Structure 1
Amino acid sequence: MAGLEDELEFLDRVHAAQAWMLDHARMRVTTGEQVAGDRYTAETLGRMLKSYVKELAEEPDGAPYFGRLGFEDTPAAGDHRNQRYHIGRRRIAGEHGPPLVIDWRAPVSSLFYQAGVGDRRGVSVRRRYGWTSRPPIRLTGFEDERLDHGEELGTTSRLLAEEIERPRVGPMRDIVATIQPEQDELVRADLDQSLCVQGGPGTGKTAVGLHRAAYLLYAHRRQLKRTGVLVVGPNPAFLDYISAVLPALGEVDVRQCTLEDLLASTPVRGTDTDEAALVKHDARMAEVVRRALAGLIGQPAEGIVLPDGSYRLRVAVSALARELALVRSEDLPYGVGRERFRTRIVALLQRQLEYHGESPNRKWLDRTGRSRPVTGVLDRCWPRVRPEELLATLLGDASALKAAADGILTGTEQAALLWARPPRSFKSAKWSAADLVLLDEIAGAIQHPEGFGHIVVDEAQDLSPMQCRALARRSRHGSLTVLGDLAQGTSAWAAAEWGAQLTHLGKPDAPVTALTLGFRVPAVVLSYANRLLPRLKVAVPAARSVRADGELNVRAVPDLGVAVLGHVRAALDQEGSIAVIATAGRIAALPGIDDPDGRVTLLPATLAKGLEFDHVVVVEPAEIVAAEPRGLHRLYVVLTRAVSRLDVLHTGDSASDVRIVPEPPLS
């Protein structure tokens, strides 16, 4: 068994290989233009190679590998008999010989996460490495699990615990060194499989989704290079927090955005009443849109006469009506249906010309399709329409809305949708955020949008049915990784169960897997927050934590401003990031905090979802609960942002019955 000296010697070889890879990559950048066949190819190759060089240049700041597999000399090891593999974030190879470090996504690397005493799969020893937490990164030691001797540490591993509990400053880190078997199974699910991960706070659901994206890009690179991968997050702060994970895993060609950015077809300059927003996000609006578009289609009033040389080609009104009915029966997107109707009209004219012994070519077909008699029938029977134009008609004309929504929406709901002062035209309309969802629904009903090969959507429990449909349109031929926690649903339309949500997302058969083992939030903090679960009225299993190192302080204080300053100063004496979380009004009223190192974040409770901090100070929880209809859910989110220490400060004189204190237990 290799000792520390052998490991340090191997590390020198790895560093030498990394240096060679970087030099070789830089050489390829300088020669790339000479080997590329044209300017476009040269530019594309240059961007790819420069990106690769940048990734390699930054690599020395991280540990080159985190584990090693040793296989036994028996048939059970198969092709890996008597082999040893170091596992890292990327493949590392020198100029000659086999790779020194295997990519964590390679098939054999799965055994680092999956092998156990009960199913060793030929693995005799699993080794974990310890590294310093700050540059320059140095190897500090290692820890072996002799699976062949019945030794399996699991979550009791000292090095695993140190990696999980490491202070958190800056963006989210990858978890390749700490992935657990149940997480690895989700990460390596195949591309054609959609799945839903219900995960309590700190169970790693976001990390699982991001690592699955990285794995799929590794396993299906050619396909996903063409179709793309999309990561959708709840807000810009969350996206900024997770932004470093995929690049650290070597994947930079992934679009990461909020749903609002994805649907930003026009600026948001308007607002909705709560009642209007609820209706606009309701799944029934999809049927209203469908009926509104169908109502634009009318019957032909006269036939077609088309002069063509010495011939006069004719199509009777009955033939046009028959073709129109056939196209409508195909249930195509509105825009596709219009073009299909055009094609059928041209085909009728073509057959007449062929009857006279002529053979029309492509140029004749295109010219005829654009001719005035044909486009005249099209515009009367199946007119062009812009999404903004149709929505402005629905929101500005009570009779038009009634024609499309009668029997679907109540009179009160229709009244909530109507503009009090309709604009002169759709071009001057002030669209709201909810209107963008409807505009996307209309655009999707006219022409299906370009989709993605895979979409990861986080905090999916907060999506409305119409927002889910927007994502479903973009994954019609791809797969989804749906991440969320029903207990953390804070939007007005938050899901109460996953079945309906997955149906709206277009993946009703996607399996739901619950992650219940928490790695980030300490047990004392998680168990405290879990006391809210019975009051949240969602059927989710309570998460339990593997960590026993956290701290919880709940205090009634006479002056919240003074208390916050004192607790933040005490937190600054320890390592890690710090957040003060309260309502937006309370945050604005807090005194200034001296924070020269930028470690303290003053965070409104509405923006806390998905973020983690080493030390969290929650200010006046009763105000958080009272600030919005789903305030208890918001408080559950806020209380589970701490990964080391949680302070809860309250004045003790709130009239609310939802004060959070250790005793007595919440009813």
Structure 2
Amino acid sequence: MSTPVDDSLDPLTRERSHLAESRAALRAMREDVESLDISDVTANWVNAEVLARQIDDRIKALADLSDTPLFFGRLDYLHAPGAEEAEGAQGERFYIGRRHVHDAEGDPMVIDWRAPVSQPFYRASKKDPLDIALRRRFGYTGGDLTAYEDEHLSDPAEAARTSKLLQQEIERPRVGPMRDIVATIQPEQDEIVRSGLGGTVCVQGGPGTGKTAVGLHRVAYLLYAHRERLARTGTLVIGPNRSFLHYIEQVLPALGELSVRQATVDDLVAHVEVRGTDDAAAAVVKGDARMAEVLRRAVYSHVSMPTEPVVVVRGSRRWRVAAYELEETVRELLARDIRYGAAREALPQRIAHAVLVQMERSGEAPDDRVQDAVARNSAVKAAVKAVWPPVDPAKLVLRLLADADFLAVHAEGVLSEDEQKTILWAKPARSVKSAKWSAADAVLIDEAYDIVARTPSLGHVVLDEAQDLSPMQYRAVGRRCTTGSATVLGDLAQGTTPWATRSWEEALAHLGKPEGVIEELTAGFRVPTDVITYASRLLPSIAPGLTPVASIRENPGFFEVRPASSPTGDVVAACEELLRNEGSVGLIAADARVGVLAEALASAGVTCLAPGEETTHQTRLTLVPASLAKGLEYDYVVLDEPQAVVDGEPDERTGLRRLYVALTRAVSGLIVVHAAGVPGPLA
């Protein structure tokens, strides 16, 4: 139904009136939910708890955020229903916003940005107007509507032009956590966001191309389009570290989605406490996909062929299952390639079935209860324990890493002798609890758990900064979505681990999604032209095959490379200079220099935050170790000693990739301060 319009008012006043009415309608929707009385609806306290929680979530989803626009656009359709190219009626208009809002009669006042009727807001163009006569964008200050801008898409006399409001929204200063991009989604981004639930999508995107936002908005879209299914199976967003997850945690709630869990890969595989670290060589071998075969061999090595028959006594009768029959059953279970634990659970039932066959041949008529009783018989249990014993995944990995002979047997033909020596512990631990497990060890234990018992699958998983995962980590994520789909986000040029991904095809294969579609985003919305051009000088050295990001920002940005006379004084001065501007400031430095710079800032009376702490209008400077800069963004960045960032990594290529990440965190301006010169590719 079309939204009523009072044509006696000027356009801006009319739109402000609609905003006020929409806010009142949203408030009424919230009050309706708050007033629900469920005392006579539920049969027991469990149902009451579940329903109360659902109502509470609904109330939170209907929150009207005062500083967030309730709608950001409007579409006026051309044709009436029945026209093949139209979804709307003649003269009908739709206000596009973050969530659906309806009036007391149920008529829509704001349409959810994910609805099919909203799609032309992102896709329509002069070349293909998609039956849209007019697209209107709105400008806001806080939550107040202050401007509008019209595009007459069906008017051939009006030339195509860049939206000023769209450009202003893209270039708006960053203060606080990451925000949604529903008002600025571009056509190529929208295609990825609205791709179906059944397929896995891998997005290669350079700095500032919006790949993280695209992944999060795809989750929001899938929850809108497949809510019931994903409510049953669950969704998960995986990020590289806690600072990153804290930075993005408000995006989905701002879109009304409160049920999506966030975690790191380390969280997923936290079967043991991680207290140790690996050197790069050991971590590379432990992260290699070949370790999956070593683990599989080690697990199944516990199975032994029976040499004695099983004799089951029931009453006055004795039933004997010969050793050769048991062996046939064991070989059949091994050939089925099912989980170790599932096969172990099936074995007593198979033995019991062999006994029941003998009973039937002797004239008895046993039923399922008899079979279950036989399966629980002490003789059967003893045979199963001897032939197919239980396996503790953590103890198994402990033995592999501590027992050279055990590892050699199961790694033969898979790992070289040098690789085996690389991953063996110098001081073997006595128990699982006393072992100083590394992050890579925890992934191995998770793999062993999956060999024993299948890992539950979610409906959809978003994996961000995926380029830094090892093959074994990809496998750990992949088994969390074996029956679901995934959105993989990353940039090969930003891979800073020794095992960094070499190609997305290889990564998707390890993830178990070889059929995944690879999309590339090359339009830069965040990083200014001068900054991304400077950073792209590193691409021939770190990722020769990648297309450089082309910034679409009109503002070229502030950029300067400053030789320093004082290793810390000039850095502090640059920070103080940038803090005079509006927006957040990030001081990024090699990890080894963070302590020195923190002392220098404190001596100068400059307050700073650590990554993950939320910037405010009073405290806008964050001191960021280069190792934690990935995925973060600041209006202005001071980069301290680029050569020190490179030198802080185990090899030059990894160091240059880390530097590429650090250089591309700025939204409005970058100052590079150096006393030791800059690396060769930037000279």
Tell me the TM-score range normalised by the shorter chain. Answer: over 0.9
Q: SS at 1:100's partner residue?
A: strand
The corresponding residue for 1:110 is: 119
Give 1:270 deviation, angstroms.
2.1
Contact (CA 8 Å) 2:642, 2:679: kept in 1 or not? no
Mark the CA change 1:496 to 1:538 in structure 2 (over 3 Å): closer, same or farther. farther
CA distance in 2, matches of 1:350, 1:48: 50
- Report if aligned partners of 1:235, 1:258 keep a CA contact under 8 Å in 2: yes
Amino acid in the other structure paired with 1:562: G
Distance in 2 between the 1:507 and 1:450 partners? Answer: 17
What is the identity, as a one-letter code, of the residue corresponding to 1:18?
A: L
CA distance in 2, matches of 1:55, 1:222: 17
**TM-aligned CA distance change 1:263 to 1:154, over 3 Å:** farther
Asked whether 1:300 is paired with 2:300, we answer no
Tell whether the 8 Å contact from 2:304 to 2:387 is kept in structure 1 after alignment. yes
Aligned to 2:194: 188
**What is the root-mean-square deviation in Å for CA atoms of aligned residues?**
1.7
Q: Deviations 1:227-259 (Å, cap 9, x if unpaired)?
A: 100100001110000000011111111110110
Residue number in structure 1 paired with 2:579: 572
Q: 1:312 to 1:481 in 2, by over 3 A?
A: same
The Cα of 1:467 is off from its aligned counterpart by 0.3
1:376 is paired with a residue whose SS is: helix
1:613 is aligned to 2:634: yes
Q: Match for 1:639: what amino acid?
A: L
Residues 1:27 and 2:35 are matched in the alignment: yes
SS of match in other structure, 2:454: coil
Is the aligned partner of 1:589 residue 2:596?
Answer: yes
2:518 equivalent among 503, 512, 516:
512
The correspondence of residues 466-481 of structure 1 with structure 2, limited to 5 A, is 466-481=472-487
Task: Please give the residue correspondences for 1:432-451 in structure 2 after superposition, counting only pairs within 5 Å.
Answer: 432-451=438-457
Residue 647 of structure 1 aligns with an amino acid whose one-letter code is I
* SS of equivalent to 2:331: helix
User: Whole-Å Cα distance in 2 between the matches of residues 334 and 277 of structure 1?
Assistant: 27
1:93 aligned onto 2:105: no
Quote the residue 1:648 is aligned against: 672
The alignment partner of 2:203 has SS state of: strand
Question: 1:139 matched to which residue of 2?
Answer: 145
1:485-500 correspondence runs (5 A): 485-500=491-506
SS in 2 for 1:614: strand
Which of 42, 47, 68 in structure 2 is aligned with 1:41?
47
Per-residue Cα deviation, 1:369-398 (whole angstroms, up to 9, x for no partner): 222211111111111010011111111111
Q: For 1:501-559, what per-residue CA distance to the aligned partner results, in whole angstroms no more than 9, with x for missing partners? A: 11001111211110000111111111111111001134211110011311101110101
Tell me the TM-score normalized by structure 2.
0.93
Whether the 8 Å CA contact 1:622–1:658 is kept in 2: the answer is: no
Normalised to the residue count of structure 1, the TM-score between the two structures is 0.95
CA distance in structure 1 between the partners assigned to 2:476 and 2:296 by the alignment: 15
- The SS at the match of 1:32 is coil
Q: 1:187 Cα shift? A: 0.5
- The number of residue pairs the alignment matches comes to 654
SS state at 2:130 partner:
coil
Contact 2:239 2:464 in 1 (8 A): yes
Quickly say closer, same or farther: Cα 1:369–1:427, change in 2 above 3 A: farther
Give the whole-Å Cα distance in 2 for the aligned partners of 1:635 and 1:118.
Answer: 41
In the alignment, the residues of structure 2 paired with residue 238 and residue 517 of structure 1 have an alpha-carbon distance, to the nearest angstrom, of 23
Equivalent residue of 1:643, what SS? strand
**1:298–1:267 distance in 2 versus 1, CA, 3 Å:** same
Correspondences of 1:352-391 after superposition (within 5 Å): 352-391=358-397
Moved more, 256-265 or 364-373: 364-373
Q: Does 1:634 align with 2:634?
A: no
1:658 maps to 680
CA contact (8 A) 2:203 2:488 kept: yes
CA distance in 1, matches of 2:393, 2:568: 50
Alpha-carbon separation, structure 1, partners of 2:16 and 2:377: 78
Contact in 2 for aligned 1:455/1:480 (Cα 8 Å): yes
Matches of 2:26 and 2:230, distance apart in 1: 27
Question: Does the residue aligned with 1:250 lie in a helix, a strand or coil?
Answer: coil
The answer as to 2:567 corresponding to 1:555 is no
Alignment CA distance shift 1:154-1:220 (3 Å): farther
Structure 1 segments unaligned to the other structure (5+ residues): 662-667
Whole-angstrom CA distance in 1 between matches of 2:192 and 2:183: 16
Could you tell me which amino acid in structure 2 is paired with residue 21 of structure 1?
A: M
Counterparts of 1:405 and 1:7, CA distance in 2: 70
Matching residue within 124, 128, 151 for 1:119:
128
Counterpart of 2:589, as a letter, is: A
| 1:321 has 2:327 as partner | yes
Superposed, which structure 2 residues align to 1:408-427 within 5 Å?
408-427=414-433
Query: Do residues 6 (structure 1) and 18 (structure 2) align?
Result: no
Contact 1:625 1:658 in 2 (8 A): no
What is the letter of the counterpart of residue 548 of structure 1? E
User: Does 2:402 match 1:396?
Assistant: yes
Instruction: Give 1:658's aligned amino acid.
Output: G
Give the corresponding residue for 1:664: none
Q: 5+ unaligned residues in a row in structure 2: which ranges?
A: 609-617
Rounded to whole Å, the distance in 2 between the matches of 1:528 and 1:289 is 46
Distance 1:255 1:481 in 2: 15
Indicate if the aligned counterparts of 1:77 and 1:123 stay in contact, CA closer than 8 A: no
Give 2:615's aligned residue: none
In structure 2, C-alpha distance between the alignment counterparts of 1:530 and 1:498, rounded to whole Å: 21
Which of residues 341, 345, 348 is equivalent to 1:342? 348
| One-letter amino acid matched to 1:90 | R
Listed one character per residue, the Cα deviations across residues 294-339 of structure 1 (whole Å, up to 9, x for unaligned) are: 2111100111110112321111111101111111111111111212
Cα distance in 2 for residues equivalent to 1:153 and 1:99: 32
State whether residues 352 and 375 of structure 2, in contact with CA within 8 Å, keep that contact through their aligned partners in structure 1.
yes
1-structure distance, mates of 2:389, 2:533: 60
- Aligned equivalents of 2:146, 2:40: Cα separation in 1: 45
| SS of structure 2 residue aligned to 1:560 | coil
CA contact under 8 A between 1:116 and 1:152: conserved in structure 2?
A: no
Q: Secondary structure at the match of 2:43?
A: coil
Aligned to 1:199: 205
Match of 1:287 in 2: 293
How far the C-alpha of 1:430 sits from its partner, in A, is 2.3
% of aligned pairs identical? 47
